[in-house]
Amino acid sequence: MLVKFARGEGLHFALRGRVEEYFQRTGLRSRDCTRMYVKSAILVGWFALSYCLLVFVAAAWWQYILLAISLGLAAAGIGFNLQHEGSHGAFSKRGFINRLAAGMLDWLGGSSYMWHWKHNVLHHTYTNFTGADDDLECQPLARFSPYQTRHALHRFQHLYIWFLYGLLPIKWQFYDDFATLVTGKLASHRVPRPRGRQLLLMVLGKALFCTWALAIPMVLHPVWGVLGLFFLSSLVLGITLSVVFQLAHCAEEADFPAPLEGSLRTEHEWAVHQVQSSIDFARHNWFLNWYLGGLNFQIEHHLFPHICHIHYPALAGIVGLPVRNMASATLPMKASSQPWQPTTAGCGAWEGQSMRSAR
Ligand SMILES: [Zn+2]
């Protein structure tokens, strides 16, 4: 492991106790929630209806465009809810239901195996650690962390980043998974390449995706029209996914911690680190609370990824105050006296730096 977290300071222990007490008091299940199953049926129905109308029914240009946008939004909803929840094992206590939900990513053209390593292992462990959290990697085109090298081009990234966000799904589906398969690397980490069943699932998923997303529509419609609408759907999907992920970790309220000087140890325990590097947003928006699968309750998600997101609003009330009290007491933001100059890419960039908060 690149980074070792400091010994527990009591935050996670205290929060776990409060959350366990909540489930005992209410008698609610932490997974297998009825509302989650209903929501999943609505999202899958939305996706299937959009696809069928787009491919088999639409006749006017504006119908094609509206349905392609609808398809992209439905795919994002499935990703936020079924796929993300299943990959964390938070959907159900039954493993095959979680695998089925997580496998929605293979249906959508991404590899659920690669996602496990990229998201569950690296992002959830090393959140906002430059060089270790693959979600921060977009160099040299864009700079998401204050520890990354600044290029002249980045002055304009607030303008062109939207196009890059839109390209995310296509890059993911047709390049990133294969690049990881070949190199066995994500960010600065080595990850085991998929083998046997996992490799077969990845290949079959890609083939299935190309069949429903491109081959079948091309049998019924002109190739240029299918490619144009595929691109539009991907653009909507990519921008939606990216904006949500960036709001949760790459905004001014989030910290980008670095290990202590001269070591790869963190100053604080894992739970404190998660609170500092995650952001809750739009917690009172009923639609986003439904659509985002709890990703707008990012602090609660990072502290309790195995609990169904249906409970996050309640958990926010339970964990909110102790989290904020402890975080502000243990992690005073320390401004750097000198501008930080990266020396090498990746985790090596941490070495010798004493700045804990790069802002
Ligand atoms: Zn997650």
Domain spans in the chain, listed from the N-terminal domain onward: 11-332
Separation of CA 31 and ligand 1 centre (Å): 15
- The pLDDT value recorded for residue 331 is 43
Count of alpha carbons within 13 Å of 107, Cβ hemisphere only?
A: 15
CA of 124 to the centre of ligand 1 (A): 7
Ligand 1: centre distance to CA 219 (Å):
37
Cα 345 to averaged position of ligand 1 atoms, centre (Å): 26
- Which positions ≥6 away from 49 have C-beta within 8 Å? none
Residue with the larger pLDDT of the pair 98 and 338: 98
Q: Is the per-residue pLDDT at 110 higher than 90?
A: yes
Confidence of residue 347 (pLDDT cuts 50, 70, 90): very low
Query: What's the mean per-residue pLDDT of the chain?
Result: 86
pLDDT beyond 90 at 8: no
- Say how many Å lie between the CA of residue 337 and the centre of ligand 1: 34
d(CA 336, CA 146): 12
Residue 301 confidence (pLDDT) above 50: yes
Q: What pLDDT, on a 0 to 100 scale, did the predictor assign at position 130? A: 85
Q: What is the mean pLDDT of residues 113-129?
A: 92
- Mean per-residue pLDDT, 237-245: 96
Average pLDDT over residues 304-332: 74
Residue 264 has pLDDT above 90, yes or no: no
CA–centroid distance, residue 121 to ligand 1 (Å): 9
**For residue 296, pLDDT beyond 50:** yes
CA of 230 to the centre of ligand 1 (A): 27
Average pLDDT rounded to a whole number, residues 239-260: 89
Looking at residue 244, what is its pLDDT? Answer: 95
- Measured in angstroms, how far is the CA atom of residue 210 from the centroid of ligand 1? 26
Spacing, Cα 302 to ligand 1 middle (Å): 7
Distance 349 CA to ligand 1 centre (A): 26
Per-residue pLDDT at 321? 56
| Contact by Cβ (8 Å): 295, 282 | no
Phi and psi of 268, rounded to 5°?
A: -120, 165
Dist. CA 116 → ligand 1 center (Å)? 10
- Biggest alpha carbon–alpha carbon distance for the chain: 64
How many whole angstroms from 237 Cα to the centroid of ligand 1? 18
Task: Decide if pLDDT at 12 tops 80.
Answer: yes
Report the separation in Å between the CA atom of 309 and the middle of ligand 1, taken as the mean of its atom positions.
10
Q: How far is the CA of 99 from the centre of ligand 1 (A)?
A: 15
Residue with the bigger pLDDT between 212 and 262: it is 212
69 Cα–ligand 1 center, Å: 25
Compute the C-alpha angle 296/250/347, nearest 5°: 125
Q: What is the distance in A from the centroid of ligand 1 to the CA of 120?
A: 6
Question: Separation of 306 CA from ligand 1 center, angstroms?
Answer: 9
In this predicted structure, what is the pLDDT of residue 204?
A: 96
Tens-place pLDDT, residues 167-220: 999 999 999 999 999 999 887 788 899 999 999 999 999 999 999 999 999 999
CA of 119 to the centre of ligand 1 (A): 6
- Ligand 1 centroid to Cα of residue 134, in Å, is 13
- What are the structure tokens assigned to 344, written together? 């090498």
Q: How far is the CA of 264 from the centre of ligand 1 (A)?
A: 24
pLDDT of residue 325: 53
pLDDT at 77: 97
What is the mean pLDDT of the segment spanning 57-73? 97
How many angstroms separate the CA atoms of 9 and 269, rounded? 6
Other C-beta atoms lying within 10 Å of the C-beta of residue 256: 24
CA-based nearest residue to 300, from 259, 248, 247: 248
- 301 CA distance to ligand 1 middle (Å): 7
Question: Considering the chain, what percentage of its residues have pLDDT values greater than 90?
Answer: 65
* Residue 72 or residue 265, greater confidence: 72
Distance 75 CA to ligand 1 centre (A): 17
pLDDT at 358: 34
